[in-house]
Amino acid sequence: MHPTPSAPATSVELRRATQRRRILLIEDDSALARNVASELDHRGYAASHVPDGPSAFEAMHAAQYDLLIMDRMLPGLDGIALLKRLRAENIMVPVLVLSALGAVDDRVSGLKAGGDDYLIKPFALDELFARVEALLRRPRETRETVLQAGDLSLDLIDRTVTRSGRPIDLLPREFKLLEYLVRRPNQVITRAMLFEDVWNYTFVPHTNLVDVHIGKLRRKIDAPGETPLIESVVGSGFILRAPD
């Protein structure tokens, strides 16, 4: 069940292959699993897939993974039980739970069992990639009280923002939104992620609320002539560009 990637031919490819982050996909629908795995491969991850809980355990003991993507309802051992067993064995790999169960309670129970994120089927591939990347990177949890993104700086104590020394007056909600983005620079953040993480809502409003909020934030942080900090990514969401 462990498809070996084709042997790397050159040293460059070899280096890339060793750097590729390994993702284990646990999904019993083989057509969906093949599609998702091949899309992940295409995006530069090394994805393998297994159909059920027991074979997931085997795979986990045979190799190291950077991320697990698991279906909530699996034959044999269901996703939640598998997750609890992993956490009980102190395997702390980040886990993204996929589920056809969309109820708030299902989501809560999935996250309580040790899931790091919860994505409801059907999902857009861009949403999946954004969340995979977010889980692999983990946000900047620094002890610094001032966050920097290029020429923008956020003072977490005073709740003040400056860009190139110019003070920017933000409403509390705008500060919260900006802080979330600055902690995750150069990373695609989807509207749903913002809605879930910044506003703590699990439902998605019909209107383009998030875009309007981002629009207001942009107008405040980008002075005329300055490089826009927040870019839109068509079909996905937003990305805050900042030199590493």
Partner 1 sequence: MRLTEVFATHTFRTAAIACAAFGATTLLLFGFIYWQTAWLETRRIDVFLSHEYLVLSHEDPATMLADVNTRYNSDPHRQSFAALFAADGTPIAGGLAARPAGLPNDGAPHEAAAERRGEHGTTRERMRAVAGRLPNGQELLVGRSEEDLAKLRALVLRALGLGLLPALAASLGIGLFASHRTIARVREVNQTIGSIMQGHLYERLPTAGTEDVLDQLADSVNVMLAEIERLLAEVKGVGDNIAHDLRTPLTRLRMRLESGLTRAASQSELNAVVGGAIADLDQSLAIITALLRIGELEADRRQAAFAPVALGALLAEAADLYAPLAEQRGIQLHLAAGADQTVLGDRGLLFEAVVNLLDNAVKFAPQAGWVTLALLVEAGGPVIRVADTGAGIAPEEREAALKRFYRADPSRHIAGSGLGLSLVAAILRMHGFGLRMSDGAYGFAVDILCHGKGDA
Stretch that binds partner 1, among 60-68, 79-87, 97-105, 145-153 (CB under 8 A): 97-105
3-state secondary structure 121-181: CCCCHHHHHHHHHHHHHCCCCCCCCEEEECCEEEECCCCEEEECCEEECCCHHHHHHHHHH
Our CB check for partner 1 shows the closer of 137 and 173 to be 173
CB within 8 Å of 191: residues ≥ 6 apart: 204, 210, 211, 237
What is the x/- site pattern for partner 1, positions 171-190, by CB under 8 A? --x-----------------
- Out of 169, 207, 224, 225, the only residue in the binding site for partner 1 (CB under 8 A) is 207
Q: Should residue 201 be labelled a site residue for partner 1 when binding is judged by CB under 8 A? A: yes
| Alpha-carbon 93 to chain mean position | 14
Secondary element (H or E) of residue 47:
strand 46-50
* Ranges within 208-227 binding partner 1 (CB under 8 A): 208-209, 212-213, 215-216
Which of the residues 98 through 137 are near partner 1 (CB under 8 A)?
102-104, 120, 122, 124
Residues in contact with partner 1 by CB under 8 A are 102-104, 120, 122, 124, 173, 199, 201-203, 205-209, 212-213, 215-216
